[in-house]
Amino acid sequence: MTPLQYIQFWYHAVSNTRTTILFRPSIYAINFAELKDRYSIKALFFDYDDTLLPFKELSLPHRTMGLLKKLNKSGFKLVIVSNCVEKRKPLLVATFADLPVTIIGNAHKPSTYGFIEALKIVQVDANHACMIGDHASTDLGGAFAAGLQCGILVKSYSKLFGGNRSDIISRTVLQIESYLFRFMYERKVTVK
């Protein structure tokens, strides 16, 4: 992430009033019907590691697969935008062999490339897509820069449910960022 992208993310977080930002403990605590009915969301963009499963774990939890199948049945287009290296992509493709999920690996979030590419593939406008991830500046920052108007910040999967964890420095940075992001956003909402 470049310093400019980082500054842009924080500027957007404190200045943009059009963006819907929600905070939920996990993907399992999201009211997806509300996203569809209230915010007209047609495509769900997910971060992979520590959002859908523990950090860099190989197999997807059954509960997550069940949720994704349910979301597909209810008409959402499903996308994974991950910074994971191309090496892991065959594993992701195999995991989702029976489910129509658009997988963008090596996305270099917060670069907008992966988001824009995915929007083209699923043929959904940016304002009808919602990004869900555990990392405020990369997941939501990239999505907002690509024009998405809805983002949901969840806690790290491994923190809530156990399993592989990222290193302590990454976890600490993420924790501070999430706290600050939420603090600034809620403050902005209160001031309005």
Q: Given the rule CB under 5 A, which residues bind Mg ion?
A: 47, 49-50, 134-135
Query: Which C-beta is closer to Mg ion: that of 50 or that of 177?
Result: 50
Cβ neighbourhood burial of 7 (10 Å; 0-12, 13-18, 19+): exposed
Helix (H) or strand (E) holding 12: helix 3-15
The CB-of-188 to Mg ion minimum distance in angstroms stands at 24
Whether the CB-CB separation of 94 and 88 falls below 8 Å is answered with no
What's the token pair of residue 160? Answer: 């809530």
What's the token pair of residue 94? Answer: 């195999």
The CB-of-32 to Mg ion minimum distance in angstroms stands at 19
Query: Which C-beta is closer to Mg ion: that of 24 or that of 188?
Result: 24
Give the 3-state secondary structure of residue 54: coil
The CB-of-65 to Mg ion minimum distance in angstroms stands at 18
Query: Which C-beta is closer to Mg ion: that of 42 or that of 109?
Result: 109
The CB-of-96 to Mg ion minimum distance in angstroms stands at 17
Query: Which C-beta is closer to Mg ion: that of 77 or that of 135?
Result: 135
What's the token pair of residue 157? Answer: 């999967």
Place of tokens 């869900």: 132
Name the residue number minimizing CB distance to Mg ion. Answer: 50
